[in-house]
Amino acid sequence: MPHEHADAAGADPAGPAHDGTPPTLAAVPSYAPTEVDLEAIAEVADRFLDRELSWLRFNQRVLELAEDDSLPLLERTRFLAIFTSNLDEFFMVRVAGLKRRIATGLAVRAVSGLMPREVLETIWKEADQLSQRQAEVFRDQVAPALLEEGIELVRWGDLDKDEQRACKRLFKERIFPVLTPLAVDPAHPFPYISGLSLNLAVVVRNPRTGKQHFARVKVPSNFDRFVPLGNDRFVPLEDVISAHLERLFPGMEVQEAHTFRVTRNEDVEVEEDDAENLLAALEKELLRRRFGPPVRLEVEESIALSVLDLLVSELDISSEEVVRLPGPLDLRGLHGIADLAREDLKYPAFVPSTHPLLAEVESAAPVDVFKALRRHDVLVHHPYDSFATSVQRFIEQAAADPHVLAIKQTVYRTSGESPIIDALIDAAQAGKQVLALVEIKARFDEQANIRWARKLEQAGCHVVYGLVGLKTHCKLAMVVRDEPDGIKRYIHIGTGNYNGKTARSYEDLGLLTTNEAIGNDVAHLFNNLSGWSRKARYDELLVAPDSVRAGLVDQIHAEIAHHRAGRPSGIRFKVNSIVDEQLIDALYLASREGVPVELLVRGICALRPGVPGLSENITVRSILGRFLEHSRIFWFAGGGDPVAWIGSADMMHRNLDRRVEVLVRLPTEESRVEVQTLLEQAFSADTDAWVLGPDGEWVRHPGAVHLQEFLIERHRSRRG
């Protein structure tokens, strides 16, 4: 990779120039597949893997990290918590969507050949197996290993008398005042059970009448999930409550108490066309979301059948949606254990460094980002390159610079206390023109983004919400500066959000540039998003929903043309997910023509690699680790002049059809070489990774090199 055709004699002398400048899309060699080519692909009926089942395979890989005893113990503990959070969101959104389609009669066969009911039944089976496996990993591997390190996760019966007295005091002084027992009887209907809350199903008996009664007690979420007992011993909060239920039901006999947890449909749907005020409409929908229908019921395996029957009946849930597990439930709380100050049980500390081109040289004062960018473009790679001293500093210096006239930026997700939002507010209050394009429909961040939007508006920023019917998912910032030789635009285009917190754990790329053509494109795009302009073609950008899919397909076809002409050819993609059928079919076509295709996919992959006559030239790998692999890269050998794009778009229908996404062509040879080097290491046979087989199963291929640790060391040596 890249592939050199055996017969170079057919090389086109009019091929791309070798001056280091990437060709425009209009200039790349063209290849138009014939109907015969397309029919040959379409005849392979089972060429797509199911996207939902592929996601379950992804979460299985997360679980395999928790099983990996070569990893630091508290990191394995955290992967157990991440597995739980991932599965929760999958049920809240994807499973809920499947159920909704079945209920509304919109159940059509997926491209994988499965009907929604078949997918749903397979999900119930496989998700249950994975949940059982997670419980076993916790009980049989992680908890005993924690015990060996002096960290004990115990149940109430394991506590000594002093610990029980301490818990009794905690319950009396802090927990009891916030608990609300809710009875169920003819005067008290079955209470609403909020999504993902932990609950106790309590059966009490009236000693005078002998009659049994049912009550629900919600385990409060604003206490530690695992109560610290001292000396790194912890007990589940629900155990403390269960041991003191007689305080909640005086005069009654507490006979049973069982933990349960409900997952609800929490996807949000807002019809903007009918809403005069999008913020108000979304706030109303967020309130409705709290009452979405149940999609899963988790119970401890010791639950009495009579209590389980009552829950199933009252929640109107099917038996297939019940998951019986060894306790404790809701292992998200293991994040608190993973946060313990035991650095010997974690990944070695890593502090991001300032990119060398943005680093202070002689003085301790921060580098002038604008002066640095006038000299050269900078491709930052987070978290290895510091977000704070690159992207955040770029916006903060723009806000404080008297020569800056305007700042325009997209906001999809950001941190709770956001220095970038504060900088935009400072800029507006200083009289600069500030445009903030806030995507308030960012799933699960809607409430926070509503708050940011109102705060920015109050500061005098121009706040817009993008285009009707489309989420604005692109990551763009533009600074307009008045300089001696005229107005100059400074641009940042990234693969990740403007969130300083996640930038320490998400792997992302960002281009900082003064390239004039890119600046013109970004300026036009902001005008499209804030006004009535609908420019659909750009010189250096691919913009969804207009051109990302078509542009990438054209590039894939160009690689076929290069291969046919005997020039170097090859395709390497790094994405979070690949589902889009048109792009997958284009990659199949390239494979059939002999173009080597290598895909690095963190999550969902609907492409089936290694199928003879279809995809034998395609390999798919996945890398997971301490950082969440999040960047999107699209690299093409280009007949000897490589072309590379980075940006916000994954290869999914929602990204390509229902979102504003941006890919930018890297403008310099240095930046293209940088991503090429990254990809070469990622695809090296020595690099630890999972490999996807044609059957849809992922198999881990242990390697001597762990990509993220390799990059940490490389950045440390660069800093030194």
Catalytic residues: 473
Among 100, 441, 448, 452, smallest CA distance to 285 is for 441
Phi, psi of 200 (to 5 degrees): -110, 125
Instruction: Quickly count: other Cβ atoms within 10 Å of residue 400's Cβ.
Output: 12
Taking the CA atoms of residue 663, residue 668, residue 672 and residue 678 in that order, the dihedral angle to the nearest 10 degrees is: -100
Helix, strand or coil for residue 717?
helix
What Å distances lie between residue 527 and 315, 408, 520, CA to CA? 49, 10, 11
Q: Which residues contact 212 (CB under 8 A, 6 or more apart)?
A: 203, 204, 205, 206, 255
Cβ contact 382:352 at 8 Å: yes
Helix, strand or coil for residue 395?
helix
Parallel, antiparallel or unpaired: strands 628-629 and 506-513: parallel
CA distance 601 to 591: 18
The separation between CA 81 and the C-alpha centre of its own chain, rounded to angstroms, equals 15
Phi, psi of 460 (to 5 degrees): 100, 10
Task: Give me the amino acid identity at 447.
Answer: Q
- Tell me the residue ranges of DSSP E strands in 397-456: 404-411, 433-438
Cβ contact 393:366 at 8 Å: yes
Cβ contact 443:416 at 8 Å: no
Helix, strand or coil for residue 419?
helix
User: Helix, strand, coil: what percent of the chain each, to 5?
Assistant: 40, 20, 35
Among 203, 179, 186, smallest CA distance to 252 is for 203
Helix, strand or coil for residue 508?
strand
CA distance 670 to 683: 20
